[in-house]
Structure 1
Amino acid sequence: MWAKKKNSLSEVRKNIEILGIKLPKVIHVAGTNGKGSVCAYLSNILIKNHIKVGTFISPHLIEVNERILLDMTPISDRELESISKYVREKLGNSDTSPTYFEYIFYIATVFFSKTNPDYVILETGMGGRLDVTNVFEDTLSIITSIGMDHMQFLGNSIKEIAYEKAGIIKHNSTVIFDDSNEEANEIIREFAKAKAAKIIPLSDFDYESLKFTYVKYKKKAAALAILGAGQLLNTIDNIDEALTKTVWHGRMEEIEKDIIIDGAHNEPAIIEFTENAMKLAKVNNKKIKLLISVVKDKEVEKIFDIITSKLEVKKYYLTAMNSYRSNSTDELYNSLNILLEKNKRQSKISCYNSSIEAFNEAKKEKADDEILFCVGSLYLMGEILEGNR
């Protein structure tokens, strides 16, 4: 039913025209990590300032409705079904079939066309330059931190990946970006100069002064959102309230006492996760247990190397996931054992075919002086949240 290969942007623009999609100013968010958090913080800041906002994010954790939000409320099943039917009918005679992601994007943009928000926030699916979301001209670009991920599609260096992300910058527009990586910073500035775009680096904002969280990547995402709001509003009110009340599931989220889930799934995100986990365990004088799964196309060995070199983990719960991308527990077990030995660590390991079984067992075994972290994949976070609701 779905095309396996994504369509060209010229094909996407044709379909946008066929569907009659017209959007207000778009805030376009790209980057390796933190995109969804920026979208959530910015949406809530705008809402607290009486601005109507449509938000498109990915992936969803439990239900597809989570990807399409109006004032941070998911699209209803009824609207989703109605617009889905409209998209299928309108594009039925199209020369090309959409990918699944393109199809959901069309539903989202039709929904926003119907509901008339003041602004629309679009999170890229992957990359930016060739992403289906990169078809609108009146945009404010926000680029989060850039690291090594999706190398098979985006390139094998920070510069190559940054080039793909910077591709969202439009002529005579504004780009707000995380300038903490020197190589990425250079590429983004070059791209912005060629497009005559105004640049606003994250280093212009003292994000460490934000007090709503101890998590560094959340502070950086919030700072990018505040800088974005500053380009859209004359004055910004209720920032602290907006940030404090933002709940973005699966990102260093405490779902029960001393049980924290985090969707970190690539090298830079795992490094930040280990720093946060160490900090939290130390402050609370707790031992660490870890429930983890990693999908096949991620660098499992590198992820385990980072974790085993940085964290003293009492026990690992390795699990498969209900996804065709899931790694087998045998693969996870073998990789983990090699890296435990390399980094001179000793930990207990249990393996499970079901994430819910793994979570329930880990929860049952967790003592008062222990903290359980669940990490490695947003798919895993979704399964845990669904099984725990």
Structure 2
Amino acid sequence: MNRLFAINLHGGMKLGLKNMETLNAMLGTPTQHFKCIHVAGTNGKGSVVYKIAKSLEKEGLRVGLYTSPHISSFRERIQINGQLIDESSVVAGLSRIFEEIDKSKIPATFFEITTALALKYFADQKVDYVVLETGLGGRLDATNIVTPVLSIITSISLEHTEYLGSTLEAIAKEKGGIIKPYVPIFIGPRVPLKVIQEIAQEKNSPLEQIQGSFQGFNEENNAIAQKALEYLKISSSSICAGLAKRPPCRLELVRDNPPVILDVGHNPDGLIHLFKALKNKYPQQELRIVLGLSKNKDIESCLDILKKYGSAFHLVEAANGRGLEVEKLAEKAKQHHLENIFIHKNISQGIQLALEAALQEKQVLVICGTFFIMAEARACLGIQEPRDAQDFNERILNNS
């Protein structure tokens, strides 16, 4: 883990499949040993892979789930039927991978190594299915060495434009890179159809877009996951059980008095859906917001949205170097005319003060933004779960 962490700190990011194809071959082509469902999208993909995995698990199948980034423990990324990969398997798997990397001088990145670890572990554990979430984009993402039984694109909005393109169509084309010849592709209602249609026709891949107007993200994610599960001929009872599940930090209620919600909405589209859902759930209560954002986000648009919903703002900063400095965030917040702004250098201190104020004012406390404030937030709130002594999340870029 120390070596992986060093690569994380200094190795940078690289889009492309050459390293992964080499690693996959050297590890005995683990991608050939399970059925795979491959999911991309700007928002919703983490929830959709989770719901699909839980439905398949309910059906009595052995299901690997690969997601990123993690919240409190690196091991969250690699799960089988809800059980995190154990520490000894992480150590053994990384040792084997680093042996191959050293032997063949492969300049693998943190995400490539982690993806290879997951694929090899799932193959060794003889899973029936792997539900695989892309990291960034799709076409050149490290996960895109699989040939799945089904591909899904959940939604498209403007994010990571410096890597994926500056228009919805350009981003859709990058994410459409996960489409494989003759493999069915399901897309959400907010994915540009024409771009994906062209790719699907070129690959002879059956395409279906989920139709409808949905009240919020959860309903939309449920419709996408349900369509995929019905295609896989999963029983309706297993589908219902899986759709009822949500991953941590997605509109997650962790306390009742005052109500405390955790959500990793960190871009304009995610925040709009988050606050619409909250206003529907708590129409009469004010929202007090604890917020931390990453440097590479559309900060201006996020603040415009937050201004419409929050009555007070406690600004915090992720400690891993990815977060926007709290002073800069406060300066921008003032420029956007947010009121009742509190600046906290310490996340736990900020949450404690926000909790006290929300209780006194009978408000709902919403802790939102980057994944990278959530581990400390959950610890502060007394949530018991596996937690790493140091932050192993990507230091350069991912979907956070």
TM (normalized to structure 2)? Answer: 0.88
Alignment match, 1:198: 206
Distance 1:259 1:69 in 2: 27
Change (3 A) 1:102 1:276: same
DSSP-derived class of the 1:8 partner: coil
- The structural deviation recorded for 1:234 is 5.8
Q: Cα distance, 1:167 vs. partner?
A: 0.5
Q: Is the 8 A contact 2:184 2:206 kept in 1?
A: yes
| DSSP 3-state at the match of 2:282 | helix
Task: Tell me if the contact between 2:292 and 2:368 (Cα under 8 Å) persists in the aligned partners.
Answer: yes
Native 8 Å contact 1:45 1:238 kept in 2? yes
Q: Identify which range, 89-98 or 35-44, moves more after superposition.
A: 89-98
Q: Which residue of 1 aligns with 2:356?
A: 364
Match of 1:335 in 2: 332
Residue in 2 aligned with 1:324? 321
How many residue pairs end up in the alignment?
369
CA deviations over 1:135-154 (Å, ceiling 9, x no partner)? 12243101001100111110
Do the aligned partners of 1:9 and 1:130 also contact (CA within 8 Å) in 2?
yes
Q: Match of 1:241, as an amino acid?
A: A
Change (3 A) 1:13 1:370: same
Q: Is the 8 A contact 2:42 2:156 kept in 1?
A: yes
Distance 2:110 2:64 in 1: 20
Distance 1:90 1:4 in 2: 20
The yes-or-no answer on 1:69 pairing with 2:79 is yes
Change (3 A) 1:130 1:255: same
| 2:125 corresponding residue in structure 1 | 115
Measured in 2, the distance between the counterparts of 1:326 and 1:5 equals: 17
| Structure 2 match to 1:240 | 240
Aligned to 2:157, which of 133, 144, 147? 147
Match of 1:89 among 67, 74, 99: 99
Q: Deviations over 1:128-176 (max 9, x none)?
A: 0000100122431010011001111100000000000000000011001
Task: Give unmatched runs, 5+ long, in structure 2.
Answer: 1-5, 384-400
In the TM superposition, what is the alpha-carbon distance from 1:242 to its structure 2 partner? 2.5
Tell me what 2:217 maps to: 217
In the aligned structure 2, how far is the partner of 1:172 from the partner of 1:196?
Answer: 5
The separation in 1 between residues aligned to 2:127 and 2:213, in whole angstroms, is 29
Matched with 1:180 is: 190
Q: Which protein has greater RCO, CA pairs closer than 8 Å, 6+ apart?
A: 2
Give the counterpart letter for 1:129 in structure 2: R
- For 1:189, the equivalent position in structure 2 comes to 197
> Closer, same or farther in 2 for the Cα pair 1:139/1:91, shift >3 Å?
farther
AA partner of residue 353 (structure 2)? E
Say whether the 8 Å CA contact 1:293–1:377 is kept in structure 2.
yes
TM-superposed deviation, 1:292: 0.5
Matches of 1:241 and 1:24, distance apart in 2: 23
Amino acid at match of 2:171: I
Question: In 1, Cα distance between the equivalents of 2:324 and 2:292?
Answer: 7
Is the CA contact (8 Å cut-off) linking 2:56 and 2:238 kept in structure 1?
Answer: no
- Residues 1:379 and 2:372 are matched in the alignment: yes
Structure 1 segments of 4+ aligned residues over 6 angstroms from their partners: none
Farther-moved stretch of structure 1 (20-29 vs 231-240)? 231-240
Give the C-alpha shift of residue 322 in structure 1.
1.0
Could you tell me how far 1:197 is from its partner in structure 2?
0.5
For 2:367, the aligned partner's letter is: C
Kept in 1, the 8 Å contact 2:19–2:107? The answer is no
1:286 counterpart letter in structure 2: Q
The residue aligned with 2:397 is none
**Match of 1:91, SS?**
helix
User: CA 1:364–1:74 in structure 2 vs 1: closer, same or farther (change >3 Å)?
Assistant: same
> CA offset at residue 260 of structure 1?
0.6
The aligned counterpart of 1:306 is: 305
Is 2:38 the counterpart of 1:28?
Answer: yes
Verify the 8 A CA contact 2:64 2:78 in the aligned structure 1.
yes
Cα separation, 2, equivalents of 1:256 and 1:123: 29
Which residue identity is paired with 2:379?
A: E
2:252 corresponds to 1:253:
yes
